[in-house]
Structure 1
């Protein structure tokens, strides 16, 4: 590629000669990135496609420009621009050299953004060079949870700090819709509106562009496009998958069975394919952030491996667009929303069942200690259901020596004291807002 072609592409993605669209601000996420950026390490931002990784960086850089950083001291390279040909490390170096000679001013504070950089083999060496030799603030984005695989981590060891970007939390979703909850009074006064918004959130999800779209048909079309893009660009093209139909069939199977235990052997029989195919394809899809798998908690690693894993989707709207939905699915969709809220804060999450078949939906593990037990039960009005949920939670609290437990419901709210242990029952909508602070 010649210099003119490269500059034409870069001009479209940078602030140098025009304003860039920076979308609706996500203040909490911006604060997180600003805080982590103080460490002066390579910032690695990962997340599923269309969750807003590039937009949040643009918002961050726009703030820097407003505070005095020269536009020419910011370089943004979007490696998914189809006009780039023959992407490799040599071209990456050439792009940077052209930027240095033609654009850069050379101020003390400089920023380089390598957007969807995983398409270039050896990118980590280039990022480290900029960071260590040039003292440049480097931002990396990618739509794969494996962006920092072992070989990358060897080069970047101790030189990177990571942030995962998800679709909007429910609190962010409300803010996108103009509902700002600042106090207990706001919760009370907006109660019914919030409950209606939760149903909408569960139905169409929290991808930023979808949340801002008014037309229902457009929402569904966007979500189906996201589903296809993830499978095609992040799985099929990356791993050279030939049987695209089987890959899509597996993804839709998982999406239909969210919040349920699934075993590879059972799926192999249902889809009539090999165990190896199910395992590999499942791993590939998981790497895109579309799906999350959690294990049954056990002190035995062997038991964790042998037991079925529960599957959750990154976004219930995405799931509803490509899977049949029945009225009885609503509780499972709510459970999925709760999982994603926990996932935003914690990495080590399990489900639990003891030998007496007492169950808990979620256990949160921190530093090899269970610190939280959570049940999700949309309707707890039935005495049988109430007894089951409380007994399961109490069993886990006793097993893991927890003084408190949590039951999330549609609208019930109370505190239950049993044997000096406290169970808090709280509506899901309220917990999502309070926990999202």
Structure 2
């Protein structure tokens, strides 16, 4: 990839543009190295310059650096405040403040809220840990925070750089969408980069920030979650697995805390089980998905390359990138079988919701027989509402709807679209 070129990530740029000068702090969240800093310091900065904003009116500070770039203590909030205000020369001009990985600065809330109180200052911060989860933003920024969640590259973004779609899928489904990978020319570099991210960035950060005492346990827990993506589980079951397979004694309460730490670092997300007809959530068992399929594969040393699970994880991430909230659907029903009433519980891979939109989605890597087809459709046919029902298959097919109104589409077609009306 030409270093002078970059993927513009239009969807995120548009979110920043429409929030420009709106009086709120723009909080860009996501895992480390997913492109948050680049989004601000290059993509959005270039946009502002094109709009006529003076370079002197864009002030950028990176709190994740340990070099001598600055002539003041970058981790001293008082020194940071003095530096920023010394750069603001004219009260009649707008200034744009970019504060990268702001959680590294103690007492940052007061600094950010103070800056945001000025009508001519527009504040943007990035963060990669739980302090920037949406349920905390309202408190931290006094109700004046607006979160923009950033993910690694989507498959559609990835295809901007690799135009052969089959080659793009082979690379993406193996190494994922961390932006830095586009600068590497061989697989050894890609593998080393992803594995170093886990050991030297992600796990070290989680351990340090949460004062984790058992580093080996949380490391093996991360591996266990990667190994079981898309499978129903709970902390007690994971604790039993770690004890039986890894010979590691750990209680379910600790496992639950460690999972929270990994989710709060934006490394995994959980999908809850939702009773479609009863309109309620089940309290036990969830499915976990890795935020990036390349990170998942790297954690497993690229040994578990199950195409069905990889496809399911990529579909989940795609829906989340598009802004959908995603649950695992459960459809309960009573049926007559051999003259007797029986109770059944069928699963829909994804119930995707965004505002008034809802989709029921099945991930079916291959429908190789009529029996398999009936199996994939069984849960969808039990849903009586009018929301669209979709089956995504791993093959390239011409999209069509069957006699029941269920929409069938190929994987690539699904991943390259924003909606499926």
TM-score, length basis structure 2: 0.86
Q: Does 1:357 align with 2:340?
A: no
> Counterparts of 1:171-250 in structure 2 under 5 Å?
171-177=156-162, 179=163, 193-250=164-221
Shift of 1:134: 5.6
Name stretches of at least 5 consecutive residues in structure 2 with no aligned partner.
243-248, 333-343
What whole-Å deviation, never above 9, does each CA across 1:257-301 have from its counterpart, x for those lacking one? 111111111111121311121000000000111101111103779
Residue pair 1:195, 1:429 contacting (<8 A) in 2 also: no
Change (3 A) 1:273 1:155: closer
After superposing the two structures, state which structure 1 stretch, 238-247 or 345-354, moved more.
345-354
CA distance in 2, matches of 1:328, 1:224: 16
Shift of 1:99: 4.1
Shift of 1:68: 2.7
CA distance in 2, matches of 1:174, 1:343: 18
> Which structure shows the bigger proportion of residues in helix conformation?
1
> Counterparts of 1:286-305 in structure 2 under 5 Å?
286-298=263-275, 304-305=282-283
CA distance in 2, matches of 1:81, 1:403: 48
Does the residue aligned with 2:263 lie in a helix, a strand or coil? helix
User: What RMSD in Å do the two structures reach over aligned CA positions?
Assistant: 2.6
Change (3 A) 1:358 1:285: same
What whole-Å deviation, never above 9, does each CA across 1:361-402 have from its counterpart, x for those lacking one? 0012345x782100000111221111101112212x32xx13
What whole-Å deviation, never above 9, does each CA across 1:279-327 have from its counterpart, x for those lacking one? 0000000011110111110377985222x10010111111111215567
Shift of 1:230: 4.3
Partner residue of 2:34? 51
Does the residue aligned with 2:26 lie in a helix, a strand or coil? strand
Shift of 1:83: 4.4
> Counterparts of 1:302-313 in structure 2 under 5 Å?
304-306=282-284, 308-313=285-290
- Please, which of 362, 377, 381 is the counterpart of residue 394 of structure 1? 381
Residue pair 1:23, 1:55 contacting (<8 A) in 2 also: no
Change (3 A) 1:113 1:328: closer
Shift of 1:328: 6.7
4+ long deviations beyond 4 Å: 20-23, 83-88, 148-152, 299-303, 324-328
Does the residue aligned with 1:262 lie in a helix, a strand or coil? coil
Shift of 1:63: 2.5
- Please, which of 371, 377, 390 is the counterpart of residue 358 of structure 2? 371
CA distance in 2, matches of 1:205, 1:294: 20
Give the length in aligned residue pairs: 394
Does the residue aligned with 1:295 lie in a helix, a strand or coil? strand
Shift of 1:403: 4.8
CA distance in 2, matches of 1:344, 1:67: 27
> Counterparts of 1:31-430 in structure 2 under 5 Å?
31-58=14-41, 59-83=43-67, 91-101=76-86, 103-106=87-90, 108-133=93-118, 135-148=120-133, 153-177=138-162, 179=163, 193-271=164-242, 272-298=249-275, 304-306=282-284, 308-323=285-300, 325=302, 329-355=306-332, 356-366=344-354, 371-395=358-382, 397-398=383-384, 401-411=385-395, 412-418=397-403, 421-430=404-413
CA distance in 1, matches of 2:401, 2:6: 44
CA distance in 1, matches of 2:316, 2:300: 19
What whole-Å deviation, never above 9, does each CA across 1:64-90 have from its counterpart, x for those lacking one? 2243322222221111112489776xx
Shift of 1:159: 1.3
After superposing the two structures, state which structure 1 stretch, 236-245 or 344-353, moved more.
344-353
Change (3 A) 1:155 1:231: closer
> Which structure shows the bigger proportion of residues in strand conformation?
2
TM-score, length basis structure 1: 0.83
What whole-Å deviation, never above 9, does each CA across 1:190-210 have from its counterpart, x for those lacking one? xxx313321221111011111
Shift of 1:124: 1.8
Q: Does 1:435 align with 2:401?
A: no
